[in-house]
Amino acid sequence: MKAVKNILSWVIPILVGFLIAAVIKTFFVSVVKVDGTSMYPNLQNNERILMLHKAKIKRDSVVVFDAYGVDQNNTGLTKDTKYVKRVIALPGDTVEYRDNGQLFVNGKFRSQGYITSQQQADGTLKVAANLPKAKGVVLGTGSTFKVPKGKYFVLGDNRSVSNDSRYYGFVPRKKILGVVKVPFWNGKHDLINSYQRAD
């Protein structure tokens, strides 16, 4: 009987620990691996990041979403495929891109300080040659569009290579799994964690 008590004294805490970890992973936070260079230079290929399941989605938030059924251009996706992108516009927002990739949301200029002016100008309005023909949101100088209710307009920070809303359209809220956070010692944390800039 004493042996059983000894075994239970270390088995029960381990089981409780696993249960707590499972609850945290399911409802609060998960670790996600970045796959590809679409968020470069702010997130690197194979970098591990934290995803908060319940965090509020704002403009400029970096999010993880279930790409299966969203990116219909890519027939090789599985139900486990996740994309990491930046939210440019929220449901109901009106978006306009002007010369050199200048972004206006609801008529107000957005600086996009998380990428360089060159990245904005060279990548935003051009469609990457290596990606399928755009079936998503067509961006053009002076053209505007409104984000539908319950959906988000997302772009990768590495605009010239990113497969994003320009190719597959808006991302439904139900597909967004969480908001990305990186630790403070990551040199890019201020460009990822709730990026805010006075415009």
Catalytic sites, residue numbers? 38, 85
Residue 199's CB: how many other CB atoms inside 10 A?
A: 12
Q: Does 41 sit behind a cis peptide bond, omega within 30 degrees of 0 on the bond before it?
A: yes
Q: Which residue has the tokens 């999010």?
A: 63
Nearby residues of 124 by Cβ (< 8 Å), 6 or more positions away: 97, 101, 103, 139, 155, 159
The residue among 53, 3, 72, 81 whose CA lies nearest residue 179 is 53
Residue 176, amino acid: I
Residue 54's CB: how many other CB atoms inside 10 A?
A: 9
Residue pair 173/91 in contact by the 8 Å Cβ criterion: yes
Nearby residues of 92 by Cβ (< 8 Å), 6 or more positions away: 146, 147, 149
